[in-house]
Each structure stands twice: as C-alpha cells, then as structure tokens.
Chain A
Amino acid sequence: MAADMVDTLSPYDSLPEHLRALVTDQVEHQGQLALHCLSADQRTMLEHFRTQQGYDFLVDMTAIDHLGMDQPERFEVVYVLRRLGENSQLFRLHVWLSEDSPDLPTVFDLWDSARWGERETHDMFGITFEGNPDLRRFLMPEDYPGFPLLKDYPLRGMGERRQFPRVVPRGDQMAEEEPEDYPTSIGRGMHTPEYTEEVRRDSKPK
C-alpha cells in the first residue's frame, strides 16, 4: 500500500480535545481502531465523524448484548464507519447503552444506511432509535413479539415455531387444525425478572 493512501492520523488523533475526553476506551485490533463512548455522547461523536472527519459511509451497525458479563453496561451499539473515495481503514464507534433505557437518538439524517441498520438492531435487540420514522420489524414476522438476539431470549424461542395451524387432508378438502400446544403467551411478556436473573447467573464467567 502506498504511503500516501494510508490515513496519516487515526480518528482518535484527529479528535479535538473536548471530544477526546468523551472517549472512554480505545482498542486497536489488526490495525482496526475501535473507540468507546457513553450513550449520551453518541450523537456528538457521530456528528463529528460525519461532518468534520468525512466518514461518509456507515458500513454497518449492530449491537451486542453483554448480559451477565463484566462490562460497564448491558448493551453495546456498534457503528462501523468508512470514508469512500480513499483507501481508508474501517473504524468502529462502540456506544455503551444501559439496560434500563435502551434507546438512542437516530443518526439516519447523517447516513441513510442507518435507517435499515437501526431497524434491524431494533428488531433483534429491542433498542429504540428515537427519531427513526420506520422501526417496523425487519427480519422477523410483523406480529413477532420478542427480540430474539437478547441473551435472555431462549434459543429455541417461546413456542413461536409451533404456532402454525396444521393443514390436514380431510376427504377431498383441506382443513386447518390448531395445534394442541398453541402457546398462550409469547414474547417479552415471558421475560420475567427471575428468568433474566437465571440467565445472568448462568452466563457469569467462571
């Protein structure tokens, strides 16, 4: 790689002093930088990277659920940024997000690709992005009640995969039968505090 194509200053080094104070941690892995910040500063940081440092491409965004792990907050929302038109490294901003109020301001006005990223993150983790006009279900069915990538969501679900009527041949007609074990309540209603506590206990690092 030619020297003039490499970023001379890392995103952290290019930060002004008052924004550097907001970075709680920085991790570099295989040449890729990750900055951490608190949820209150998410908008300030991202606006800076978009407008001042020219990160014009939100490659991806997602979240991590750290339930039961030794981490500052339960959720971590990850923004993967890149500059188009030059050979820039990917760079990530990790935002710590509290379990008690899992919502962040939207950034779709900065990057259009955040519309679907936020929609998917909401679909999978239940994190709300205030200001995003379209937080409909993305991958899951429209009437799906739960948030399946949460660590306290059972891997095998709450019975959703059994809830279809059975098409039964009856004479020359097709009939539909309701399955016997039709779940009466699925979704977040079954996220009892006891269950969450149990998962938290089981997933503690030994």
Chain B
Amino acid sequence: MGLESLIGGEGFLTTTVNSIVNWGRKNALWPMPFGTACCAIEMMATFSGRYDISRFGAEVVRFSPRQADLLIVSGRISLKMMPVLQKIYRQMPEPKWVISMGACASCGGVFDTYTLIQGVDQFIPVDVYVPGCPPRPESLLDALLEIQNLVGEERFDSGKHGS
C-alpha cells in the first residue's frame, strides 16, 4: 500500500532529519478551530465527509490549543474576542501556523466599525489568508495545502524554529 511495499523487506531510506520531520508535520497538522461566524460553517463543512480534510491529514481537530499546531481563525474578531484569540495563539506549542479565513478575519470585511478588528494580522502573525465571504471549502483546503508547503520548507536553523 504505502512506502513499505515499495521498499520491501528490511529496506532503508536515506534522508535528513529536517526532511523527515517536515514530512511528518505537514501531513499531520492538528487544527485548532477558532470559529466565530459564518466562515466557521464552511470550516465545519471542510472537516466533514463531503470535503474531508482528513485526505490531507488534518482531521484531528483539537479544541485545546495546547494540542494544536494550526490555528484557523474563521470569522469576525471583536474587541472582546481579540485578547482571547491572542491568549489561545500563545498557548499553542511551537512551531505553529495560522490561517486567516475569510474577509472578516483578514481585513474586517464589511464591518468597518468601532468594535471589529480590521484584520487579525495586526496582532498575531498570519501565514495564509483565505479570501471569500465566506470562502468555499475548496479554498480552505487550498490554504491547508499552502500551509503544508510552508511546513515543508521549514528549516531547523531558521523560520519558525529561529535561533
């Protein structure tokens, strides 16, 4: 079925620790859903059978930020919610990635008002933005693949791991 049938018996692979870790990470992202509005409905659709995010290895949705490495901000973030979002982001273990899903999370959308954060990227680092109002599940899947590319490019001495 998988790799073992190609290698057969007691074969071996040559690779770098960096590559094998990235390979493992990017195919087993654990998302933390931060759904606050209609984008969350599309996010739920993406998680469920029809669009099936588990085809990309990201189906283990964790409602504890301490067990997740991908934060999906889907929905409006208000004045009162922003500190909560920051707290949750800070509780996630390193390395971690953030998807800003939909117009509201990315730029405030149509809600240009006193209480709505005009883009969460002002206050937490965002890796991938998903346009749309709300975006279709395919867009979120595309963003996930984009995150996987980012994870695949990670190096131990730079980027998210820093020094």
Q: Residues of A at under 8 Å CB distance from B?
A: 140-141, 144, 146, 148, 153-158, 160-162, 164-172, 174, 179
Contact = CB atoms under 8 A, between A and B. Distances in A.
A160 B114 contact: yes
A155 B122 contact: no
B161 A172 contact: yes
A153 B124 CA distance: 28
Contacts, number: 60
B122 A167 contact: no
B24 interface: no
B163 A157 contact: no
Contact of B116 (A161, A167, A171, A174): A161
Contact of B160 (A154, A161, A169): A169
A159 to B, nearest CB: 9
A172 B162 contact: yes
Given A157-B114, A167-B89, A141 B79 contact: yes
B117 A161 contact: yes
Given A156-B112, A162-B122, A164-B86, 9 more contacts: A146-B114, A148-B115, A153-B114, A155-B112, A160-B79, A161-B79, A168-B125, A171-B162, A171-B163
B119 to A, nearest CB: 10
Nearest to A153: B114
B68 to A, nearest CB: 15
Report whether over half of chain A's contact residues are helix, strand or loop; otherwise say mixed.
loop
In the complex, the 10 A-B pairs of residues with the closest C-beta atoms, listed nearest first: A157-B114, A171-B162, A164-B123, A167-B124, A141-B80, A172-B162, A148-B114, A166-B123, A164-B82, A167-B86
Contacts of A140: 79-80, 115
A9 B26 CA distance: 71
B153 to A, nearest CB: 16
A154 B161 CA distance: 43
Contact of A164 (B83, B113, B116): B83
B125 A155 contact: no
Nearest to B87: A167
A161 B116 CA distance: 6
A167 B114 contact: no
A156 B80 contact: no
B124 to A, nearest CB: 5
A144 B115 CA distance: 11
B138 interface: no
A172 B161 CA distance: 6
Contacts of B122: 162, 164, 166, 179
